[in-house]
């Protein structure tokens, strides 16, 4: 391939505009073709997965499905019956629980299959009576039976489980947790009781009890990763917190979200690499910095828990007290954690002493943070968020960490003779980050306009970051210039948004709405392109 000829073509503004128009037109045309072939997905034409998601959002449908499974079972499953009764008691009106038949559910067939022994039958009978009004004499007698049976040494199976369920229904969480603990310690098959004890201990913030339970062999293995993450945050066990976060990420990772993330981050990756001189490893060396940025989100979440639970920072505080959450909370913790993961690269940077390398390395750390953060947005919003995140948050994280990292590198290189510049730069970075989040997330400044305010923040950041990038680097003139890469890559991302909107079942009006949302961000894209060409 003739790179010099291609590079010359990419510097031709008319050829560049033509390429962008062709790509966007092709994206719209492909979206239209998809809609003609597949048609928009309506209420009567949803996929099986979407139908299952709708079912899961309806507790009544879930109860009916589980009831059918229990009624049709050929083997006894008393623990599954106990779990279903707990869910039914929480979902059904209290009047329905006073009858032998709970609404549309006949309980006797379930008891015949899943409570075949007289001992089990008596426990379930006491539990069913206990779910009625608490002031009835029969209810008090049923509770006495449950408590007495659960206190036996050793207790019979399910006695403590059923007692715990009733205690939790009556908001007696500590008592319910202890009953679950007894059930879990006495019976190997009571894994659900062990997991539930950790869940409710987290909900009640029983920190000391959590530490004791987590120290028991095999106890943590029964809990969901989300519960263990919260438990680690409450107890200060950072390894448990981060390990659970990693498992959660892998468990809920969607391939499409991962592809979209790499597409958006990959464009900034190429633009930044193209500002470095040609070398054998120039495409590979940024990967460790990128991964460091991904890892930096873990201590960020730990610090977020401390700030919100211990310091009481909250976005719901009245103005101006909520500013502490955005500036001293989000801005401070995210920038400090990203900068902390930049520090390990300082020895290498000091050895290389290459102009602009510290700025770009810091930008890659920030880009890694954005990569991890993108996954949640893309899994929630699909392809529609690709262009928005690319043009706003992805650049913001890269630019802020690049500036802070470069300032730290300079102060270390000067043997701490330029501390004032570093402190000023760090405060500016934290301030811009906090202001950006405040403008887009808080309703206080609606009169100013969140779009205008966030645009001003991005203008300030872009001017500063690209100015330092131009001063320190010189892209290879023989290759495709970064402005052309940015323009063509942006057009490809917008075309991808349009295609994915149609592919996911949207109508033509939804495709056009996605197009309009992309057009609304074009001024920011033109700002970046202008700074890259300056």
pLDDT digits (tens, 9 = 90+) for 37-80: 875 554 444 433 343 444 444 556 777 888 888 888 888 888 89
- Confidence (pLDDT) at 46: 41
From 226-230, 310-314, 387-391, the region with the lowest mean pLDDT = 310-314
Work out the angle at residue 268's Cα, subtended by the Cα atoms of residues 264 and 273, and round it to the nearest 5 degrees.
140
Greatest mean pLDDT among 312-321, 334-343, 446-455: 334-343
> 60-250 sits in which CATH class?
mainly alpha
> 80-99, pLDDT tens digit by residue?
988 888 888 888 787 777 77
Residue ranges of the domains in the chain?
60-250, 263-479
- At residue 134, the pLDDT reads 60
Q: Residues 386-397: what's their mean pLDDT? A: 89
User: Which of the listed ranges 20-24, 365-369, 514-518, 522-526 does the model predict with the highest average pLDDT?
Assistant: 365-369
Band of residue 401 on the pLDDT scale cut at 50, 70, 90: very high
Any idea which residue has 């008319």 for tokens?
A: 14
Name the least confident of 135-139, 231-235, 349-353, 431-435.
Answer: 135-139
Tell me how far apart the alpha carbons of residues 232 and 271 are, in angstroms, rounded to a whole number: 39
Alpha carbon dihedral 86, 194, 168, 69, in 10-degree steps, equals 0
Beta-bridge partners for 105: 102
Task: Judge whether 430 and 367 are in contact, CB under 8 Å.
Answer: no
pLDDT (tens digit, 9 = 90+) per residue, 148-173? 888 888 899 989 999 999 888 888 99
Residues in the chain: 534
Q: Is the pLDDT score of 118 beyond 50? A: yes
Q: What is the mean pLDDT of residues 13-30?
A: 88
Q: How confident is the model at residue 491 (pLDDT cuts 50, 70, 90)?
A: very high
Task: Say whether pLDDT at 363 is over 90.
Answer: yes
205: which DSSP letter? T
Distance CA 408, CA 520 (A): 36
**Class of residue 235 by CB neighbours under 10 A (exposed 0-12, middle 13-18, buried 19+):** middle
pLDDT at 47: 39
pLDDT single digits (tens) 272-287 = 998 887 778 888 999 9
| Residue 9: predicted pLDDT | 64
What end-to-end distance do the CA atoms of the chain give, in Å? 28
Q: Torsion angle of alpha carbons 329, 334, 337, 340, nearest 10°?
A: -120
In order of 117, 381, 392, 428, the CA distances from 436 in angstroms are 64, 21, 10, 12
DSSP-derived letter for residue 416 is S
Residue 357 to residue 363: CA distance in whole angstroms: 10
Please report the pLDDT score of residue 413 as a whole number: 92
pLDDT of residue 112 exceeding 70: yes
Cα–Cα distance, 102 to 518 (Å, whole number): 53
pLDDT at 429 over 90: yes
Predicted local confidence at residue 51, as pLDDT: 38
**So what's the pLDDT on residue 39?**
59
Highest-confidence segment of 297-306, 330-339, 373-382: 330-339
């Amino acid at each position: 391939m003739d790179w010099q000829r291609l590079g010359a073509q990419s510097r031709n503004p008319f050829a560049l505009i033509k390429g962008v128009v062709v790509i966007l037109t092709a994206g719209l045309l492909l979206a239209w073709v998809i809609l003609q072939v597949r048609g928009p997905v309506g209420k009567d034409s949803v996929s099986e997965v979407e139908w299952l998601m709708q079912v899961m959002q309806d507790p009544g449908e879930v109860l009916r499905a589980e009831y059918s499974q229990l009624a049709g079972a050929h083997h006894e499953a008393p623990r599954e019956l106990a779990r279903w009764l707990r869910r039914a008691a929480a979902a059904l009106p209290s009047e329905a629980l006073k009858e032998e038949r709970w609404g549309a559910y006949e309980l006797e067939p379930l008891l015949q299959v899943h409570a075949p022994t007289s001992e089990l039958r008596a426990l379930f009978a006491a539990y069913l009576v206990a779910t009625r009004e608490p002031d009835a004499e029969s209810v008090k007698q049923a509770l006495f039976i449950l408590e007495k049976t659960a206190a036996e040494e050793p207790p019979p199976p399910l006695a403590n489980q059923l007692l715990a369920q009733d205690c939790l229904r009556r908001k007696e969480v500590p008592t319910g947790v202890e009953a679950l603990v007894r059930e879990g310690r006495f019976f190997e098959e009571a894994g659900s009781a062990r997991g539930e004890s950790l869940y409710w201990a987290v909900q009640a913030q029983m920190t000391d009890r959590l530490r004791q339970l987590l120290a028991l062999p095999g106890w943590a293995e029964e809990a969901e990763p989300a519960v263990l993450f919260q438990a680690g945050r409450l107890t200060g066990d950072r390894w448990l917190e981060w390990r659970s976060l990693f498992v959660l990420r892998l468990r809920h990772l969607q391939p499409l979200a991962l592809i979209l993330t790499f597409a958006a981050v990959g464009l900034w990756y190429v633009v930044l690499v193209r500002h470095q001189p040609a070398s054998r490893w120039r495409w590979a060396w940024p990967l460790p910095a990128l991964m460091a940025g991904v890892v930096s989100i873990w201590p960020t979440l730990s610090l977020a828990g401390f700030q919100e639970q211990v310091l009481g920072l909250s976005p719901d505080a009245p103005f101006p007290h909520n500013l502490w959450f955005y500036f001293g909370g989000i801005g401070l913790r995210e920038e400090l954690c990203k900068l902390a993961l930049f520090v390990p690269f300082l020895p290498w940077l000091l050895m290389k002493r290459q102009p602009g390398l510290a700025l770009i390395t810091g930008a890659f750390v920030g880009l890694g943070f954005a990569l991890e953060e993108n996954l949640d947005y893309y899994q929630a919003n699909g392809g529609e968020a690709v262009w928005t995140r690319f043009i706003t948050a992805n650049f913001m994280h890269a630019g802020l960490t690049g500036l802070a990292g470069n300032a730290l590198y300079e102060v270390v290189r000067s043997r701490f003779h330029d501390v004032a510049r570093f402190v000023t730069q760090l405060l500016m970075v934290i301030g811009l980050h906090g202001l950006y989040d405040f403008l887009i997330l808080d309703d206080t400044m609606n009169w100013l306009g969140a779009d205008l305010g966030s645009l001003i923040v991005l203008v300030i950041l872009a001017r500063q970051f690209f100015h330092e990038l131009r001063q320190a680097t010189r892209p290879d003139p023989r290759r495709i210039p970064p402005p052309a890469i940015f323009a063509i890559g942006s057009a490809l991302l917008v075309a991808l948004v349009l295609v994915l909107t149609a592919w996911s079942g949207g109508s033509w009006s939804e495709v056009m709405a996605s197009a309009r949302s992309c057009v609304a961000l074009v001024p920011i894209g033109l700002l970046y392109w202008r700074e890259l060409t300056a």
